[in-house]
Every structure is written in C-alpha cells, then in structure tokens.
C-alpha cells in the first residue's frame, strides 16, 4: 500500500520513465531521490546559481 502510493508520487514527480520503477523497493528509491534532489539544491545555492 505505502509502496503503491510512493510509486504514484514518484511517477508524478520524476516522470513515468523512472529508473527505480522495476526495482520494487519504492520507498528506498523515493527517499534516495529526495536526498539527491536536496543535495543538488543545496549545492546550487552554495554556488549561487
């Protein structure tokens, strides 16, 4: 159930061609993408882009 919800959120945010789509571990994939996105955002803010 939680995996299905996160899969739908993942598909909506990151597009239907998600790399993590076939892995089955949607929660881990979703959390990883959020962490990656936050790291990129923080990096960009530090670089003043």
Q: What is the mean pLDDT of residues 32-42?
A: 71
Q: pTM higher than 0.85, yes or no?
A: no
Q: DSSP 3-state helix, strand, coil percentages of the chain (rounded to 5)?
A: 70, 0, 30
- CA dist 42 and 24 (Å) reads 29
Number of domains the chain contains: 1
Angle between helix 2-14 and helix 26-46 axes, rounded to 10 deg: 40
For 4-25, how does the pLDDT look when each residue is reduced to its tens digit (9 = 90+)?
A: 666 666 666 665 555 555 555 5
**Residue span of the structural domain in which 22 resides:** 2-46
| Res. 39: pLDDT tops 50 | yes
Contact (CB, 8 A) for 23 and 29: yes
- For residue 2, give both structure tokens: 């939680």
């Amino acid at each position: 159930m939680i995996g299905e919800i996160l899969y739908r959120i993942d598909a909506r945010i990151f597009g239907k061609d998600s790399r993590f789509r076939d892995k089955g571990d949607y929660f881990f994939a979703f959390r990883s993408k959020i962490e990656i996105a936050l790291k990129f955002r923080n990096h960009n803010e530090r670089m003043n882009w």
